[in-house]
Structure 1
């Protein structure tokens, strides 16, 4: 708990901005876990955000109990340590917050994860060019490549799983009274929505942990050699774990802020996710949320930060195509795809510009 006493002003500002981003991430992505449950009228919007916020925070205890913080570790290591400075992280956060607010205002369900990653990398690349006139060895390709691959794989896995789960449910319930089945699936949707909210909390709160961790580690590595700092003497692979163990308030605060953000909702995106892609029934809501939760738990186990937005969108498309291909509004889906593809490069370019401005101050 020695944070404020030990940290310089810039690092404190970065921590505050990171938590602001965490909060914005919560209300920006609230739609991911509640869109289908609101669209099917299982819960009112207010009840739905309370439900999602509770399980967003509850994910902390699962991670603490043994699931770990592998996603946060990955985020902290997307850029090589030699090119991480407090100014780089500051510029990346400003860019990520701006892009998130813009897409929220426009009702575009873009990825908060990829916004943060793009901003971090863009600012680091600008720093490397301004200081060393090179882009070589700035990005940790081994960490970043799986993130780029899962821009496409996460929605595809979500779509495939939702398609299979929907067909399996339809076959199992083929002789069940439709009205009775509908009542059961409305109850089951509470469970599937909770599972997806757990996945969302564990995935997205860790990204802010990763950024704060990268900032703390960078600060310690910049200290004079005579400071005899423990981070400098430690193997690079162990630094993030050491950070988590010694700043226990960071994980719990990250989960609290994403839960508070979820309580604020994000109704424009709820409308897009819950009704504009395809019309969703309680049965299909259960299938989509279960498929999305499975995908998030899988990627968290692998330590790959993915977009919960991409994941649940793919799952919603998966349940739509079980009816017929035309049931999916492909015009809306293609617009979302463009937003996904552009998020990382646009965030990176904006962060590079912000870093350039910051470096002039």
Structure 2
């Protein structure tokens, strides 16, 4: 699929909620809601993830001065089996719902789909949200944190957080101008404890596709942010582009590396999870756009489409990356 262009798609409002590590890192002043315990005041980690979603959605709706009944469609996804965090939260909103999954690339996928619905299907107000939680993801894909399994240095730490955005055709300060739906790419990486490097080829392919379709390169953006490639994967991606002769202009970064203070916070090789890029986008990046610190950014959320069963059967890890371009539209 070629890169899609949108003429009249805006981000009307957004909300964010983060866990303990996230609320102690670089974005702490930008979070709408911060939780300082893993349970977020609930009785289980799964309910905690739904509380993160509830807080982010509530913030977005309040900022937009909307009620759930004002929404035409909800699009959401998460990392839990059968998208259970999204489904269990959305059941109480009583609005048309679309569930989507692209692992940690879910954030850009749901926002691209929301933009398509607004521009092509004439939906007036679309709510997009996604989330992740370190405790729910770890015990689903690897081992519960409570087991105390020693982790490899290449491991990333799943972000505990949620982000929500209301996408409309009503003029606002931030526009969605383009989206690129990525291909599944598999360079035959097999280590589930090093998913950052596995996702690099997908990010590389999607960014080059956007460049080819739009006639742009790194110099045309204030920042291009991958989702969660880890410190190792991010270096790998930089090397690929440098070998191609690109000048990065210091405009390439990774949300998982920016979400935390890695000198002070123990997150191994960086942050991950579909809440990672969503949370950083709808705190720091939206703040930069609305305050005029940036005019044009690209977020390339990356996802490793593995399952525990496939890993146990010695399968490789197919990966995907979806891109969304945001631009400052001025005062609403």
**Common topology (TM > 0.5):** no
For Structure 1 versus Structure 2, the TM-score category normalised by the shorter chain is: under 0.3
Larger Rg: 1
Structure 1 length-normalised TM: 0.23
1 or 2, which has the higher helix percentage?
Answer: 1
Structure 2 length-normalised TM: 0.24
Considering Cα pairs closer than 8 Å and 6+ residues apart, tell me whether 1 or 2 has the greater RCO. 1
